[in-house]
Amino acid sequence: MAENTAPKRRTSAKAIQARKAAAELAAQFQAAEATRLDIAAQRMLLDQQITESEEETERQVAKLRARREKLTAQKRATAERLVVRMLDTGVSQAEAAQRFGITVDQVRTAKANVEQRAAAEQQSVEDGDGADSASTGASTGDAAGAGSATLPQQQNGQQDSAAAGVTQPPGSAV
C-alpha cells in the first residue's frame, strides 16, 4: 500500500501575515455590515412610526372636521332662527336682509329651513319619538336660547316699560 508521504507544507511568514490581514478585513467588514444592518433597522422603524403618526393625525383631523361640521350646522340653525325672529317683529324680508347684511334669498332660505325643521320636529313628536321641544332645542345647538327668548310686549309702538331694553331668559316672567 502506498502511503501518502507527501510532505506537509509549511506556511511561510508572508502567508501567515496575509491570512491575518484577511481575517482583520473580514472582521471589519462584519462590523461594518452589522452597523449597516442596525442603520437599516432604525430607518424601517422610523418609517413605521411616521406611517402610524400620519394615520393618527388623519383620524384626529377627521374627528375635528366632523366636530366643525356639527358646530357649523348648529350655528347656522341658530342664525336662521334669528332671521325668523327678526321677521316675527314685523320687518319685511328686504329690511331683515339689509339689517343682517345678507340677500333676500338668504332670508327666504333661512325662513324655509326653520319651517322645515319645525315641521320635522313636530312630525317626530307625533310619531312618538319622545323628542320634546326642550330636548330638541338643546340638540340643535340652541344653548343660547336664540329661538325661545321672550320679546317685550309693544303697545302703540312703545315697549312695555318693565321689559324695555332687557332681554329675558326663556321661561322667565316679564
Q: Report pLDDT digits (tens) over 92-133.
A: 999 999 999 999 999 999 999 999 999 999 998 988 755 444
Categorise residue 101: left if φ over 0, alpha if ψ from -120 to 50, beta otherwise. Answer: left
Exposure string over 148-166, b if 16+ CB within 10 A, otherwise e: eebebeeeeeeeeeebeee
Residue type, 56: E
> In this predicted structure, what is the pLDDT of residue 127?
86
Torsion from C-alpha of 18, 24, 26, 30, nearest 10 degrees: 180
Identify the pLDDT of residue 25.
92
pLDDT (average), residues 53-80 = 97
Task: Supply the pLDDT for residue 8.
Answer: 64
**What are the boundaries of each domain within the chain?**
22-141
Rounded to 10 deg, the angle between the 13-88 and 104-126 helix axes is 90
